Amino acid sequence: GEDVEQSLFLSVREGDSSVINCTYTDSSSTYLYWYKQEPGAGLQLLTYIFSNMDMKQDQRLTVLLNKKDKHLSLRIADTQTGDSAIYFCAESMETGANNLFFGTGTRLTVIP
């Protein structure tokens, strides 16, 4: 079955860049997603990347995909305290975000 792994914790200083990593095992993944979960709130879709892309940038967020190594990363530039949250990567083999398989989540703590 699908296996999506992330490190559990990451701490960075405010203003630095954060890099959250994710590895997956299913080479037939079509879409890869990054979600953000703040306390008491639902998962919020941050960005996604199609498997035939290497990189996607959206303002402070940069997603890098190494399909050969099955490695996905999310870089947050100029990290702010409001970025403190749990970040989940997820993969899907279907269009339209059906059947999402989630990683364990990485808790990002931003130190002022």
Q: With CB under 8 A as the contact rule, which of the stretches 41-49, 50-58, 60-68, 77-85 interacts with other proteins? A: 41-49
d(CA 79, CA 27): 31
Question: Which residue number, 19 or 45, has a Cβ lying nearer to other proteins?
Answer: 45
Three-state SS for 1? Answer: coil
Judged by beta carbon, residue 20 or residue 35, the one nearer other proteins is 35
String of contacts with other proteins for each residue 5-34, x by CB under 8 A: ---x--------------------------
Q: How far is CA 75 from CA 26, 33, 62, 78, 106, in A?
A: 22, 13, 5, 10, 13
**Angle, CA 55 vertex, CA 44 and CA 27 arms, to 5°:** 80
Binding mask 65-104 for other proteins (x = CB under 8 A): -----------------------x------xxxxxxxxxx
